[in-house]
Amino acid sequence: MTSANTLQARTPDEAYEFAAPFRAPQGSPIRELFKYVGRPGMISFAGGYPSKDLFDRDGLGRAIDAAYRSDPIACLQYGDTAGAPALRRSLARLMGARGVECDSDDIVVTTGSQQGFDLLVRTLIAPGDTALVEEPAYPAAIQALRLAGANIVTVRTDSDGIDVDALAATLDAWSEPGRPKLLYTVPTFANPTGATLPRARREALVRLAVRHRIVLVEDDPYGELRFAGTPVPPILALADACPGGRDWVVYFGSLSKIVAPGLRIGWALAPAPIARRMIVAKQTSDLCTSPLSQEAARHYLDSGSLESHLRTIAGAYRSRCGALLKALTHFAPADIEFCAPQGGMFVWARLTGGRDAGDVLKRAIERNVMFVPGTAFFVRDADASSLRLSFAAPSEAEAFEGARRLASALSGN
Amino acid sequence: MTSANTLQARTPDEAYEFAAPFRAPQGSPIRELFKYVGRPGMISFAGGYPSKDLFDRDGLGRAIDAAYRSDPIACLQYGDTAGAPALRRSLARLMGARGVECDSDDIVVTTGSQQGFDLLVRTLIAPGDTALVEEPAYPAAIQALRLAGANIVTVRTDSDGIDVDALAATLDAWSEPGRPKLLYTVPTFANPTGATLPRARREALVRLAVRHRIVLVEDDPYGELRFAGTPVPPILALADACPGGRDWVVYFGSLSKIVAPGLRIGWALAPAPIARRMIVAKQTSDLCTSPLSQEAARHYLDSGSLESHLRTIAGAYRSRCGALLKALTHFAPADIEFCAPQGGMFVWARLTGGRDAGDVLKRAIERNVMFVPGTAFFVRDADASSLRLSFAAPSEAEAFEGARRLASALSGN
């Protein structure tokens, strides 16, 4: 007997006629690695998660409590699509401390900065439109553009981030139909490379954006996680010095890496015509970001705890990064190269002997250490010899031991 | 002297070359009315918000507190894109109580059910694809389809919801290129009409969906707010009886109207190929719904308070709706007709004399009462003589007084 369930199981995927980017959807290759993370004794350099042992649990607990006790209705009712006015004021002050003058009305609160970029892509990119992306790049940004049907053109980077001269040459020689509409970059402690774009390159990028009328997307989740070197202002802070500059920079901030991702609080600072449309897109996306989360975030920001908390995280990340690099330097064979980042969560490494990082990963997992092969961060022709090491999650001792195991996997001992 | 700021102000909207649906974006016409809501003495039948005075503040406060105290890391760290496993289990039990057998793995937690529909639209609708929508309909569903570039075809309704015979005739005679990919409906206590689709029509809709391979979207935020009449099972609960039925129904649930919208917790129950793609789209949209909100929602659901809370809300809405209808019946002129809903938050009314509800609204606002003109709920040829009255927010006495004022606006006294 054939049951209804059996019949149902036969309805093929094609029957639904999905929109083109969803016909053969690919999940995140990084998430595929998650099954190994929980293995006893595993030391993971794979995750892009902030360290859970550094969360300000008590401070956030007090913030959640104060938010709910002081105004339960604000936490429970629908809120403004653009965000709660009080949180927008707190975020405008935070932007002021980052060197960006803005009015709280300019801030759009988003459900993580992931939503911010997605909303921007929706307003700008029609299928076939061109978007520029630094390469290697944050995979979820690439994915947002793919799902929007964008023609993704990659921009070369070196250890200082985007190669602005190469970009300028590309843009000046642009002959394809359809000019690029946006350029996506994480200019400070980039994911995955850890690179930071120097000030002169930032200024050149703004001039290029104005000249070619390209929306320059500055994704800045890590900028306040500096533990070495000299601060560089956000691109947006430098944009005012270039006539028209402010009109072509969209900035995304996030509390995920500096407070807690579970709040899902990000924000966008965009030129008014763009911000207005992002708010329309947000009405459709989720009406508003969780007011409970927004109220909790606002109370936390207004408590004044963030500054000392940032010192705590940055200090811990400095130690962890240092231990990782020290062990790699000491134990790894000569055919691996890497740069020491000045902040953030990532070290980018390359196997100069041409070995495949995916093969090394298999040997690494046998030794109870993990990382993400660099292929995950490329749009097309992936550099199979690259790898990303996140030092956020392991303790300092684990980072050292993990790097020692990685060195062993690399050496074949 | 021309400052940089003046120059910036001159960059025209067109310079950004927005994607087509965003070139001249329209905000929600309902939100335009908000400026009057706060006026002293105003009684508003305009909002689609649940009543803030009915929130279970203490119960939710305990749930938030328990969630954070028992597992702060789960509240603060990134969560699974499909939702927290424990919440998915609680929601699967809730669906069981609604007559739908499902596994918790079938549930996708969304940032409100608004996000659920948006994710579905993204996976299915390419620009130019056809989508069917009951008319009048929930404006944010229309907007999601508009922003996706859908060709929106409306489906006629009467006081029992979708006219299934008319729909069957339309589909059988379909000759346009591109078959409809989905049909959007709120079958129980619809927004804006308050109508409930009878069981036989639900069964017929499922058969039509299977025959024509149309994804039947059952948006069900109000189904548990019944205060009169006999319960009708969700369409999804009836789908199993039709071979292949379950493959063509996507169900959206929400805690917004039965617990609190500020949590931003909705969920989707979709056939596996669709659910898988919605999860891919959600990775891009916001990575995951606020884990803090999810944990709080789960603790609230597991506290067992929902059942008695639903009785409280439904009882209050019964009284408010009754007072509204009583006053309208008693005081309003003969040229207004309306149906008494059996639950939910809305009464739909029509001015049979051909008067324009927008004109009546102006006179109503002068008398400190508000509603939403029905034009907001149509795709194209709006019925200007219709109006939506939400009885959720005013107290029973206010509902009576508001309806008396509305009758006065209608009578011109």
User: Pairing relation of β-strands A182-185 and B372-373?
Assistant: unpaired
* Single-letter amino acid code for the residue at A118: D
Tell me: pLDDT of A153 over 50.
yes
Contact residues, A window 11-50, toward B, CB-based 8 Å cutoff: 11, 13, 15-20, 22, 25-28, 49
Tell me: pLDDT of A2 over 60.
no
**Phi and psi for A132 in degrees, rounded to 5?**
-95, 140
The DSSP call for residue A84 is: -
- pLDDT for A47 equals 85
Q: How many other CB atoms sit within 10 Å of the CB of residue B194?
A: 29
- pLDDT for A3 equals 42
Task: Tell me whether the omega of the peptide bond preceding residue A291 falls within 30 degrees of 0, making it cis.
Answer: no
Q: Report d(CA A222, CA A234) in Å as an integer.
A: 11
* Single-letter amino acid code for the residue at A404: R
Q: Report d(CA B319, CA A43) in Å as an integer.
A: 60
For residue B203 the two structure tokens come to 């069964």
Q: Which of A221, A294, A226 is nearest to A255 (CA)?
A: A221
pLDDT in tens, B115-132: 999 999 999 999 999 999
CB pairs under 8 A between A and B: 260
Q: Report d(CA A254, CA B356) in Å as an integer.
A: 47
Chain B residues whose beta carbon lies within 8 Å of the beta carbon of residue A276: 25
Angstrom distances, CA of residue B142 to CA of A274, B358, B388: 22, 21, 17
Contact between chains at A290 and B74 (C-beta distance less than 8 A): no
Q: Report d(CA B191, CA B189) in Å as an integer.
A: 7
- pLDDT for A9 equals 52
Q: Report d(CA A98, CA A382) in Å as an integer.
A: 34
Residue B78 touches chain A, beta carbons under 8 Å? yes
pLDDT in tens, A232-286: 999 999 999 999 999 999 999 999 999 999 999 999 999 999 999 999 999 999 9
**Phi and psi for B325 in degrees, rounded to 5?**
-70, -35
Q: Apex CA A111: angle with CA A59 and CA A116, to 5°?
A: 125
Cβ atoms of A279 and A311 within 8 Å: the answer is no
Cβ atoms of B274 and A16 within 8 Å: the answer is yes
pLDDT in tens, B138-167: 999 999 999 999 999 999 999 999 999 999
- Residue in chain A closest to B61 (alpha carbons) equals A68
B13, B109, B121, B290: best to mutate for the A interface, most A CBs within 10 A: B290
Tell me: pLDDT of A305 over 80.
yes
Q: Which of A225, A201, A183 is nearest to A346 (CA)?
A: A225
Contact between chains at A7 and B271 (C-beta distance less than 8 A): no
According to DSSP, the residues that pair with B386 across neighbouring strands are B350
Report DSSP letters for A142-198, one per residue.
Answer: HHHHHHTT-EEEEEEEETTEE-HHHHHHHHHT--SSS---EEEE--SS-TTT-----
Q: Report d(CA A332, CA A339) in Å as an integer.
A: 14
Chain A residues whose beta carbon lies within 8 Å of the beta carbon of residue B80: none
Contact between chains at A280 and B147 (C-beta distance less than 8 A): yes
Residue A281 touches chain B, beta carbons under 8 Å? yes
Q: Report d(CA B161, CA B188) in Å as an integer.
A: 9
Site of tokens 């207005």: A276
Residue in B20, B124, B283 nearest the CB of A19: B124
Q: Report d(CA A231, CA A223) in Å as an integer.
A: 9
Chain A residues whose beta carbon lies within 8 Å of the beta carbon of residue B280: 22, 25-27, 147
- pLDDT for A10 equals 67
Chain A residues whose beta carbon lies within 8 Å of the beta carbon of residue B79: 262
Tell me: pLDDT of A52 over 70.
yes
ipTM score assigned to the predicted complex: 0.95
Residue A169: which residues within 8 A CB-CB, separation 6 or more? none
Q: How many other CB atoms sit within 10 Å of the CB of residue B319?
A: 17
Q: Apex CA B157: angle with CA B326 and CA B380, to 5°?
A: 105
The DSSP call for residue B82 is: T
Find the length of chain A.
413
Tell me: pLDDT of A7 over 60.
no
- pLDDT for A348 equals 98
Q: Report d(CA A213, CA A196) in Å as an integer.
A: 24
According to DSSP, the residues that pair with A162 across neighbouring strands are A157
Q: Report d(CA A217, CA A92) in Å as an integer.
A: 18
Find the length of chain B.
413
Residue in A16, A64, A114 nearest the CB of B124: A16
Contact between chains at B283 and A75 (C-beta distance less than 8 A): no
**For chain B, which ranges sit under pLDDT 70?**
1-10, 25-31, 413
- pLDDT for A354 equals 87
Residue in A27, A240, A290 nearest the CB of B4: A240
Mean pLDDT of the A355-380 span: 95
Position A216 confidence tier, pLDDT thresholds 50, 70, 90? very high
In a 3-state reduction of DSSP, which class is residue A14? helix
Contact between chains at A72 and B61 (C-beta distance less than 8 A): yes
How close B210 gets to chain A, by Cα (Å)?
Answer: 10
pLDDT in tens, A99-142: 999 999 999 999 999 999 999 999 999 999 999 999 999 999 99
How close A16 gets to chain B, by Cα (Å)?
Answer: 7
Helix A306-331 vs helix A396-411: angle between axes, to the nearest 10 degrees?
30
Contact residues, A window 221-240, toward B, CB-based 8 Å cutoff: 240
Chain B residues whose beta carbon lies within 8 Å of the beta carbon of residue A249: none
Task: Tell me whether the omega of the peptide bond preceding residue B136 falls within 30 degrees of 0, making it cis.
Answer: yes
Residue A6 touches chain B, beta carbons under 8 Å? no
Residue-wise burial string across B224-235, b where 16 or more C-beta atoms lie within 10 A, e elsewhere: bbbbeeeebbbb
Cβ atoms of A251 and A101 within 8 Å: the answer is no
Residue in A60, A65, A247 nearest the CB of B11: A247
B87, B292, B298, B345: best to mutate for the A interface, most A CBs within 10 A: B292
Helix A396-411 vs helix A357-366: angle between axes, to the nearest 10 degrees?
120
Angstrom distances, CA of residue B40 to CA of B348, B367, B369: 26, 12, 11
Using CB atoms within 10 A of its CB, is residue B388 exposed (0-12), middle (13-18) or buried (19+)? buried
Q: Report d(CA B295, CA B299) in Å as an integer.
A: 6
Position A33 confidence tier, pLDDT thresholds 50, 70, 90? confident
Contact between chains at A147 and B281 (C-beta distance less than 8 A): yes
Residue B366: which residues within 8 A CB-CB, separation 6 or more? B409
Q: Report d(CA A248, CA B8) in Å as an integer.
A: 10
Chain A residues whose beta carbon lies within 8 Å of the beta carbon of residue B181: 17
**Phi and psi for B122 in degrees, rounded to 5?**
-65, -40
Site of tokens 């930032």: A202
* Single-letter amino acid code for the residue at B174: W
Residue B173 touches chain A, beta carbons under 8 Å? no
Helix B306-331 vs helix B396-411: angle between axes, to the nearest 10 degrees?
30
Residue B101 touches chain A, beta carbons under 8 Å? no
Cβ atoms of A388 and A375 within 8 Å: the answer is no
- Residue in chain A closest to B255 (alpha carbons) equals A76
Q: Apex CA B19: angle with CA B16 and CA B24, to 5°?
A: 80
How close A410 gets to chain B, by Cα (Å)?
Answer: 31
Q: How many other CB atoms sit within 10 Å of the CB of residue A171?
A: 18
Contact between chains at A256 and B78 (C-beta distance less than 8 A): yes
Using CB atoms within 10 A of its CB, is residue B32 exposed (0-12), middle (13-18) or buried (19+)? exposed
Cβ atoms of A399 and A320 within 8 Å: the answer is yes
Q: Report d(CA A104, CA A86) in Å as an integer.
A: 9
Contact between chains at A286 and B111 (C-beta distance less than 8 A): yes
Q: Report d(CA B265, CA A288) in Å as an integer.
A: 11
How close A412 gets to chain B, by Cα (Å)?
Answer: 35
Contact residues, A window 363-402, toward B, CB-based 8 Å cutoff: none
Strand (E) positions, B192-305? 215-219, 249-254, 266-269
Cβ atoms of B406 and B364 within 8 Å: the answer is yes
Task: Tell me whether the omega of the peptide bond preceding residue B192 falls within 30 degrees of 0, making it cis.
Answer: yes
Q: Which of A140, A93, A48 is nearest to A267 (CA)?
A: A93
- pLDDT for A265 equals 98
**Which domains does chain A carry?**
19-48+308-411 (3.90.1150.10), 74-302 (3.40.640.10)
Task: Tell me whether the omega of the peptide bond preceding residue A136 falls within 30 degrees of 0, making it cis.
Answer: yes
How close A205 gets to chain B, by Cα (Å)?
Answer: 17
